Amino acid sequence: RSGWRRVLRVLEELEEGCATPVGRLRQVVDAMAVEMHAGLASEGGSKLKMLLTFIHNLPTGNEKGIYYALDLGGTNFRVLRVKLGGERSSITELDVDRKPIPQHLMTSTTEELFDFIATSLKDFVEKEENVPEPSQGERRELGFTFSFPFKQISSSSGTLIKWTKGFSIEDMVGRDVSQCLQEAMSRKGLDMRVTALINDTVGTLALGHYHDEDTVAAVIIGTGTNACYLERADAIIKCQGLLTTSGSMVVNMEWGNFWSSHLPRTSYDVDLDADSPNPNDQGFEKMISGMYLGDIVRRVILRMSLESDVFGLISSKLHVPFILRTPMIAAMHEDDSPNLEEVGRILQDTLEISEVPLNVRKLVVKVCDVVTCRAARLAAAGIVGILKKIGRDGSGGITNAKSKGGGSMKMKRTVVAVEGGLYTNYTMFREYLNEAMVQILGDDVASHVIIKATEDGSGIGASLLAASHSASS
Ligand code: ADP
């Protein structure tokens, strides 16, 4: 097979294009903090929307009682019932029901969709056992995680901006999401109140905060990516005179849309973006999240295959967008067999490239490594950007208490809740992210920053917010 040198050149260019030395990561950190500032200064001031959530108080751990959550974010929805015992007790998930949304309802009418959901909720409530009926004047309370873009009006209401992920119900755009559900529930005779309407990252933050009050931000790195954090109300310039009980508010960054000229962009990224249904949109997400990493790797292998015959004849599969999924990248990357059996198997089964010699398999592993390493390090820079914005990056921001002695700044313990399949299931991604955090922050400051994996913020977290926003609390 020939063209080995040309292939190495492609790899070298990829490595150069994806390079994230710590100096560059710090530029990304600064750009993130600057964009956050701009997004808070005015509506449309940045690619970061910095959406207000009107959530001023996060769960403290003192919440008590039985609460419900509804998680609607794609083709499935879930209903949960959880029991909280106060005193940061462990959370008991009493029951959960998961159902697909019938295809035809995704493009029907608001009433039909919400009647279906309300009926499922009612069935769920009616089959419950050993749950005391709410006493006079009390109602069942629900946290609603709605993972579509909506503009929040209060912590329990918001209007739909647009549908995504295959949903298209035109008469719903501009309408209040909670009210639609509330009306459907009364049509079905279900006495339940939506006490919190949230985005899934906010649920993750709530869950993190329930267990650990030093949790200040939450990041999701799964199919897509997003982050939210707790901001001082007076830093939210675009909403002057904001009254909050706590002096702060959770801000949903929509960070997938972050962009900066400091991001290391390659021709593969440019092409992926141009071929996507949303060009010029979600630029950060397209470099980081699980939806895209596999396809970046596919594009590199295709290029190598076009430039040489180290992969034999060009497989037509290499032209199929998204055929190589991110879990496969992880499996190849983490293949520790001496002959890279798993790499050979995936190349064969998915891309129909057979009898790939060991040195070419190693090359494929290297490509996975480069693409994943860049993603994880950029995610780390994004997280440090948030910390910088709130003065928790150790560079002397306002929340750092001055220590009694020599005037040096003391760094507060700071927790960031992280969830999502890419972070939890892909060990190398997690390790690269953690390593970059330490490189950017330095050992000292990094020792005060804890990245904590959470699970099911969009379900459990919503029920916690229903509790902390309960009429009776
Ligand atoms: P969501 O689709 O709501 O983001 P998850 O947080 O579970 O759901 O993330 C799923 C995504 O995580 C998948 O689309 C995939 O990209 C990524 N993922 C799942 N498992 C793995 C894995 N073993 N290795 C790498 N990435 C994975």
Which parts of 8-124 are beta strand (E)? Answer: 51-52, 64-72, 76-85, 92-100
Distance 9 CA to ligand 1 centre (A): 31
98, 219, 223, best to mutate for ligand 1 pocket (most atoms within 8 Å of CB): 223
Distance 327 CA to ligand 1 centre (A): 7
Buried b (16+ CB within 10 A) or exposed e, 225-242: bbbbbbbbbebbeeeeeb
Domain boundaries, the chain: 1-51+213-455, 54-198
Distance 223 CA to ligand 1 centre (A): 5
Tell me the C-alpha to C-alpha distance, in Å, between residue 167 and each of 73, 137, 147, 170.
10, 37, 12, 9
- Specify the CATH class of 54-198 in words: alpha beta
374, 436 contact by CB (below 8 A): no
Q: Would you say the CB of residue 326 lies under 6 angstroms from ligand 1?
A: yes
77, 371, 425, best to mutate for ligand 1 pocket (most atoms within 8 Å of CB): 425
The two tokens of residue 318 are 């290499």
Distance 170 CA to ligand 1 centre (A): 30
Q: Selecting from 3.40.50.720, 3.40.367.20, 3.40.50.620, 1.10.150.130, what CATH number does the domain 1-51+213-455 have?
A: 3.40.367.20
Count CA atoms within 13 Å of residue 231 on its CB side: 27
Return the residue matching tokens 């009682």: 65
H or E segment and range at residue 157: strand 157-160
Q: How far apart are CA 450 and CA 331, in angstroms?
A: 27
207, 326, 424, best to mutate for ligand 1 pocket (most atoms within 8 Å of CB): 326
**Same fold? 1-51+213-455, 54-198:** no
User: The pTM is what?
Assistant: 0.94
Tell me the C-alpha to C-alpha distance, in Å, between residue 199 and each of 34, 309, 465.
24, 48, 11
Q: How far apart are CA 138 and CA 156, in angstroms?
A: 17
Residue 246: how many CB atoms within 10 A of its CB? 12
Return the residue matching tokens 């029907």: 108
- ipTM rounded to 2 decimals: 0.98
Q: Which residues contact 335 (CB under 8 A, 6 or more apart)?
A: 341, 342, 343, 365
The confidence score (pLDDT) of residue 411 equals: 87
The confidence score (pLDDT) of residue 405 equals: 43
Residue nearest (by alpha carbon) to ligand 1 atom 15? 290
Q: Would you say the CB of residue 425 lies under 6 angstroms from ligand 1?
A: yes
Q: How far apart are CA 102 and CA 156, in angstroms?
A: 26
Amino acid at 74: G
Distance 181 CA to ligand 1 centre (A): 29
For the CA atoms of 419, 373, 292, 258, what is the dihedral angle to 10 degrees? 70
Mind giving me the DSSP string for 3-15? -HHHHHHHHHHHH
pLDDT 10s digit of each residue in the chain, 473 long?
679 999 999 999 999 999 999 999 999 999 999 999 999 999 999 999 999 999 999 999 999 999 999 999 878 899 999 999 998 888 988 899 999 999 999 999 999 999 999 999 999 999 877 777 777 678 899 999 999 889 999 999 999 998 888 889 999 999 999 999 999 999 999 999 999 999 999 999 999 999 999 999 999 999 999 999 999 999 999 987 777 778 999 999 999 999 999 999 999 999 999 999 899 999 999 999 999 999 999 999 999 999 999 999 999 999 999 999 999 999 999 999 999 999 999 999 999 999 999 999 999 999 999 999 999 999 999 999 999 999 999 987 434 444 444 444 678 999 999 999 999 999 999 999 999 999 999 999 999 999 999 999 999 999 999 999 987 65
186: left (phi over 0), alpha (psi -120 to 50) or beta: alpha
The confidence score (pLDDT) of residue 1 equals: 64
* C-alpha of 130 from chain center: 36
Tell me the C-alpha to C-alpha distance, in Å, between residue 97 and each of 68, 186, 317, 351.
11, 21, 38, 37
Distance 56 CA to ligand 1 centre (A): 30
Residue nearest (by alpha carbon) to ligand 1 atom 6? 420
Return the residue matching tokens 């710090």: 26
